[in-house]
Amino acid sequence: MGRAAVIRRTGGPEVIEIEEVTVGHPGPREAKVRHEAIAVNFHDIYVRSGLYPVQDLLPLVLGTEAAGVVLEVGADVDYLQPGDRVAYACRPYGAFSDERLIEADNLVKLPDVIDARTAACVMLKGMTAEYLLHRTHKVHAGDTILVHAAAGGVGQILCQWARHLGVTVIGTAGGPEKTAIARAVGCAHVIDYKAEDFVARVKEITQGAGVPVVYDSVGRDTFFGSMECLATRGHLVNFGQSSGPIEGFAVAQLSEKSLTLSRPVLFHYISTRAELEEVAGNLFSVIGSGVVTARVGHSYPLEEAGRAQAALEQRKTVGASILLP
């Protein structure tokens, strides 16, 4: 028997219950993994709250990302064996657990230099930074870009990586502790958007020109301001809604500056084994070389999954949060 954080209905953190579960043995193309560290992501909050429709999947074990050790493999799995250190970021849900069965194709082997806790901080967030900077909107050395929530889990990785690519990063963050972190992860300009008008500051920094791309995961509170910060033919990449869903947007608003709007999702960039290996490989390479460092911001026992989610939701976290089984 193992333990898992289960929801039987959607709602606040109180709907999460720790239950005993039987995991069983892997079927063809599956592996059984013992988790060593589990990531806490906004995606899981959207699932628990009902923002993402999951009624048909209930009851479900939450969680999209974890790292651990392969215990057993099923038939037709030839690239993994028991004892391999692995990590993943994928659906179906089920990462908030001691052990689980998972399609082996979702697992990547961890290089020796990356421990399980670091892996749980970077798989989903770091692969997101990879595709945002290289695939959704390819940045170039010399660009000046705007990144919201620069001290957050994704934000810290994105900023370090962008700086390494020769990009000047303007980062927003809420409050003095977070602005200091945004500076430490490579933002050349930091705006405390709780205290300052970020649109006016971006215009000032870019001398009125605006930026070619904004990476915006905050959503409701920043979306329209982000559009204002863009240069003509700029690209607004909205990849999350930490402050809530965006409302009141009309496509015609893009025509004012011939803007492009993207709403990308990681899972569509790693849907084949080849894509997953390439994106994860690029991430492991920047972590291995020290270009990107990721530290655990907050860790909680699995039993406190609700508390961990509440802290993330309430804007109280800095960097990545993990659960320890």
Binding site for ligand NAP (CB under 6 A): 41-43, 124-125, 128, 149, 151-155, 173-174, 178, 217-218, 221, 239-243, 264-266, 312, 315, 317
Residue environment code for 178-198, b if the CB has 16+ CB neighbours within 10 A, otherwise e: bbebbbebbbebbbbbeeeeb
CA angle 34, 38, 40 (to 5 degrees): 160
Minimum Å distance from CB 250 to ligand NAP?
22
Residue nearer to ligand NAP on the CB measure, 113 or 265: 265
Instruction: Give min distance, CB of 189 to ligand NAP, in A.
Output: 15
Shortest spacing between CB 142 and ligand NAP, in angstroms: 26
Q: How near is the Cβ of 249 to ligand NAP at its closest, in Å?
A: 17
Which residue, 23 or 37, is less far from ligand NAP as judged by CB? 37
Amino acid at 78: D
Taking the least distance from each CB to ligand NAP, the nearer of 68 and 126 is: 126
CB of 43 to ligand NAP, least distance (A): 6
Report, in Å, the least distance between residue 275 CB and ligand NAP.
13
Q: Which is nearer to ligand NAP, 13 or 155 (CB)?
A: 155
**19, 74 contact by CB (below 8 A):** no
| Residue closest to ligand NAP, measured at CB | 152
User: Which is nearer to ligand NAP, 13 or 152 (by Cβ)?
Assistant: 152
Which tokens is 187 given? 């933002």
CA 305, CA 125: separation in Å to the nearest integer? 19
Among 133, 198, 192, 190, residue whose Cα is nearest residue 166: 133
Nearest in space to 244 (alpha carbons), one of 36, 37, 31, 46: 46
Query: In 86-114, which positions are buried (b, 16+ CB within 10 angstroms) versus exposed (e)?
Result: bbbbbeebbbbbbbbbbbbbbbbebeeeb
CA distances from 200 to 151, 191, 205, 229, 294 (A): 21, 10, 9, 8, 31
CB-nearer residue toward ligand NAP: 23 or 266: 266
Q: Provide, rounded to whole angstroms, the least separation between the CB of residue 265 and ligand NAP.
A: 5
Q: Closer to ligand NAP by CB, 13 or 174: give it.
A: 174
Question: How buried is 258 (Cβ within 10 angstroms: 0-12 exposed, 13-18 middle, 19+ buried)?
Answer: exposed
